[in-house]
Structure 1
Amino acid sequence: MPTGREALGVVFVLYGAVSGSWAARIPWVQSALGLDPGTLGLALLAPAVGAVCTMPLVGRLVARVGSRAVVRGCVPLLAGSLALPAVMPALPPLVGALALYGAAGGALDVAANAHGVEVERRVGRPVMSGLHGMWSIGGLLGAGLAGAVAARGIGAPVHLASVAVATGLIGTAAVLRLAHPGDGAGPVPAMGLRRPSRRVLLLGLLGFCALFTEGAAADWSAVYLRSVVGTSEGMAATAFAAFSLAMAGGRLVGDRVIAALGPVRVVRTAGCLGAAGLAVALLVPSTATGLVGFALLGLGMACVVPLAFAAAGSGDATGSADTTGGRAIASVATISYLGWLLAPTSIGGLAQATSVTTALGLAVVATALIPVLGGVLRQPR
């Protein structure tokens, strides 16, 4: 039976490449519009808000028409939305463009993960960690290409428009090869809003802790090395690179580790590893401990979100992941992405009142909660 795993992997790579391309060109947009850091920070909340608002609706749409159909619609929408922020002439339209970009990304996130659960069910072994590893690789490739393009003096409008066209063309070819969903992908009755089950809420909290920590590393790892440890700007930037590379590597081997040890043991061990790594980095401030600590944090967080999504899509559901699982994934994703949304502002506020080191202690706490919540990954009887 064709599973479409490779085609879905291409979709995840493209999604990551789009994310990496945009993230690397944020300084260009900031300079072009003359935005101060505070204003830029508020504008950058728009993608997360767009994603969080869209995810519950997309979960219902996945349940009605199937994940394959939603992925096919979301890929060109995400590609087109990437080109918009760099051509906005002022802050208000920029915020609108970023909200659309976030909404398209959030929609694809839910649909692609729901389809990934369906693929996992078909092949009969873990695949979600590897698919998220493809996203990480795409992010690294997108950011790396963006850096090379920027170094040649090519502006963000031309660069992002080119990436958008390539994403649309390659993505369209890939989604045509996605496997048709299994049973239950047609219209589903009782599509009204439902309160998530206790298990889905706990899975969402697990994802919240992981994405809070990822958001903290994305926005504050370089700041910590620069302002607390006192490294150069170039060395400080390698902190998030260490985190990202370790996360990508962990996700690429994660499926085999999960198959051997089980999801609960993997998440509990990984959470302890990540919390210990970050704690050492904060308690013993140096370049070496900082880089190693953030790398261990990335390795520890590698499989948490993929496993939370996989459990949401298959553990509570009966039948296809495109029915009940699609709504459960949307609920887990929405709660999880609130962690990414809250991390920058909460850590920034606490850092202003205390110190960067103390504020990053919030990420240690969030990471330490992951082993406690890991038991929710057990399949319900």
Structure 2
Amino acid sequence: MATAVVMPQQGNTVETCTIVEWLKNRGESVKSGEVLCIVETDKAVFEIEAPAEGLMLDRYFDVGADVPILTTIAVIGEQGENIIQPESTASLPPPPDKTKNRQLEIDRTPPRADIHNDARLFISPRARNTAQRLDKKPQLLIGSGPLGRIIERDVLAAADDQQPTAAEHSFSSTRIEPTWYREADELPMTNIRRVIAERMLRSLQNTAQLTLQTCADATALVAFRQKLKSSPQSFGLTSITINDLLLCAVSRTLLQHPLLNSTFQNDRFWLFRKVHLGFAVDTPRGLMVPILKNAQDKNLKTISLEAKRLIVACLESRISPDDLNGGTFTVTNLGSLGVETFTPVLNPPQSATLGIGSIKLAPVEVDGQVQFQKQISLSLTIDHQIIDGATGAHFLQELAQAIAAIDLLVAF
């Protein structure tokens, strides 16, 4: 009996996956557990393995296809075995074509009475929130998810592909691209870059962002890091970095400032008792923000080991979606790249994010004398809708004190 290969669930928020590469062609033999294809979500890359041994009898999607989760993408069986395209795949409409007018398609096709009604609308929570934000009526949308479910990409397609006016059509049909475009290469937008672009724009459009900046005495921070680096190998502390120390300091300070350890979405404000600390990681595929879950309960060594595990997983494109979701606060460190100060952008629905700059010598007055002190810059962006400037300033003040006494902070 033929075995279906199904696009697996990748975390609680992933609705679709894009097929990046097929490693097996139709008619090729495969072994159970052998990698059949590579797929990409909006956050990471995954391998799909063969659930059984046999021949690749058919593949239902080409490279580049955006496939809803739990959809059959291929079938494995024996030579000469009759196969019927799975109903779940055959019943799915094709992914939204952004080169066509989606609105016209919606106008011509009446909603399905069994799923498109106000009482029992077959739509994912993520798509419902997006439709509400974009002022789109879900009842007029055609679902491309499993069994016709409306998912987020259906809402975005309806929002992006409005019918142009006559003037816009006339302009677009006669427009000539500038000659300098001939010397440029057009690059395809990857899923992760598309998501980053959408989230950054949405962040600036839907929040009242205010950035506060200060500096902290980094003398103890640098000295303590050097002490850890030269400690006995048996202690397992030599690989602890400046960033690990800062993550530890932030996780402790946030406990005293719950307003900053919060999320704000759909007019609902949540204060978290646990610190799920996100930190930005630069990867070849784009920015990723893995989450240190329950950071407030982890000691410095554990924070360092867990952070390194997450960083490697991001760089190798094997990070789990669950490790990228659920953050309550984000830290972005550009200090290692020589950036002194910058304005970090909020990571919605989080209410605050911290940017860390480089360590540099700065003149300070000590007992009436000017001395040079190692200082590290801190830039805190808050959502001014729910967090006052004074609240953010108190957090920065206490964090600066924690950094200045980092050796004492990690002692308890």
| TM range, smaller chain | under 0.3
Q: Which has the higher strand share?
A: 2
- Structure 1 length-normalised TM: 0.24
Larger radius of gyration: 2
Q: Which has the higher contact order (CA 8 A, sep 6+)?
A: 1
Q: Which has the higher helix share?
A: 1
